[in-house]
Copies of this chain bind each other. A is one copy, B any other.
Amino acid sequence: MNLKELAANLGLSQTTVSRALNGYPEVNEDTRKRVIAAASQHNYRPNTRAQSLATGRSMAIGHVIPISTNHEMMNPVFGDFIGGAGEIYARAGYDMMLSVVPDDAEDGAYRSMAQRNSVDGIVIHGPRRDDPRIALLKEVGLPFIVHGRAPVDDTDYSYVDVNNRRAFERATLHLADLGHTRMALLNGLESMDFAIRRREGFEAALKARGLPFLPQFHRSEEMTESYGYQAAREMLAQPDPPTAFLVSSLITAMGVRRAVEERGLQMGRDISIITHDDDLGYFKNGGEVPVFTATRSSVREAGRITAEMLLGLIDTPQNGPRQHIMEADLTLGLSTGPAPR
């Protein structure tokens, strides 16, 4: 059933039917009712392709997920983000286009989305140090929002980000307040912007308290469980082990806990852990009382905010780029306590 048939069916012109369905004023309310009734009866829905060809708007948002060619991993964070964003898109009548692309071909993916007119806007995920994509998207001129930021903090692009620096600074200060002086940082890949900022926060806090940065207790890797386990295991085996861990992901923190307990140590007493917690649906940090003390920020909420912001940007681009920074909570759990002496 297409517009033509529906119109013929009703004894009306396509113009009128189209207008009736799209809420234009120049159509009698009675006929509008008739049209809407007929449409829903015949289960008519306009062909998206034709519609967007005619209007020039595609009513779709593109997300490009870079799959690093060497790691080939799908960040679980991504699922929750998509969930949040998708909710907003659905409500606004937008579709979501996903492109899973090896990161050496990302360039083409963005260009292609723009040139082929398949999306009205784009969300950039996982910005890296010196990320070329921001410049690229400015060049192709498609509205976009970065989930995260580029290290260079210019203000002429839109982003939604967590205040990673402050979160990790606060967490580190908290550990210092508890008397910890030997702290380990199990960071994400420091080619990623968020990891850079977290490290900065960590170092700033150490400096503020006159504590040294201990390179042997610093790692930067893809945030898997086994990474946490391996790293913590090695560090704890050293003669002068750390008494506290700052960890970039709940998943990795679970690996750390495994290593801690394997060694017969007790978390929260012998070893303190603070982790970042993206508040994932499938990864709640315990129940009422959090297992881990954590810097928490819902990535699902970030998805919602990003989507809303992007739709706004598409509707009123003249308002210029917009930014939103989410502060992470520092929630106390059972994994922190005074430094043992």
Is there a chain B Cβ closer than 8 Å to A70's Cβ? no
Asked whether, in the complex, the Cβ of A96 is within 8 Å of the Cβ of B100, the reply is yes
Complex Cα spacing A47 to B72, Å:
30
Asked whether, in the complex, the Cβ of B72 is within 8 Å of the Cβ of A99, the reply is no
Within residues 37 to 90 of chain A, which ones have a CB less than 8 A from any CB in chain B? 43-50, 52-53, 58, 60, 65, 67, 71-76, 78-80, 82-83, 85-87, 89-90
Asked whether, in the complex, the Cβ of A58 is within 8 Å of the Cβ of B65, the reply is no
Shortest CB distance A18–B (Å):
15
Whether A111 contacts B43 in the complex (CB less than 8 A), given A74-B79, A76-B79, A76-B282, comes out as: yes
Is there a chain B Cβ closer than 8 Å to A287's Cβ? yes
- Chain A interface residue count, CB cutoff 8 Å, equals 64
A86: chain B residues within 8 A (beta carbon): 65, 98-100
Chain B residue at smallest Cβ distance from A108: B45
A46: chain B residues within 8 A (beta carbon): 116
Asked whether, in the complex, the Cβ of B230 is within 8 Å of the Cβ of A287, the reply is yes
A116: chain B residues within 8 A (beta carbon): 45-48
Complex Cα spacing A252 to B60, Å:
36
Q: Provide the main secondary structure of the chain A interface.
A: mixed
Fill in one digit per residue for A90-108: 1 if any B CB lies within 8 Å of its CB, else 0.
1000011111110000000
Asked whether, in the complex, the Cβ of A82 is within 8 Å of the Cβ of B74, the reply is yes
Q: How many copies make up the complex? A: 2
Complex Cα spacing A9 to B283, Å:
56
Shortest CB distance A214–B (Å):
25
Which of A160-168, A220-228, A239-247 has 4 or more CB atoms under 8 Å from chain B? Answer: A220-228
Asked whether, in the complex, the Cβ of B117 is within 8 Å of the Cβ of A48, the reply is yes
Shortest CB distance A117–B (Å):
5
Is there a chain B Cβ closer than 8 Å to A254's Cβ? yes
Asked whether, in the complex, the Cβ of B74 is within 8 Å of the Cβ of A283, the reply is no
Asked whether, in the complex, the Cβ of B100 is within 8 Å of the Cβ of A287, the reply is no
Is there a chain B Cβ closer than 8 Å to A331's Cβ? no
Is there a chain B Cβ closer than 8 Å to A13's Cβ? no
Is there a chain B Cβ closer than 8 Å to A112's Cβ? yes
Can you name 20 A-B pairs with beta carbons within 8 Å?
A46-B116, A48-B116, A48-B117, A49-B118, A65-B86, A74-B82, A86-B99, A86-B100, A89-B100, A90-B101, A95-B97, A96-B97, A96-B98, A96-B99, A97-B97, A222-B282, A225-B284, A226-B284, A226-B287, A251-B283
Is there a chain B Cβ closer than 8 Å to A130's Cβ? no
A82: chain B residues within 8 A (beta carbon): 74, 98, 100
Within residues 207 to 257 of chain A, which ones have a CB less than 8 A from any CB in chain B? 222-226, 229-230, 251, 254, 257
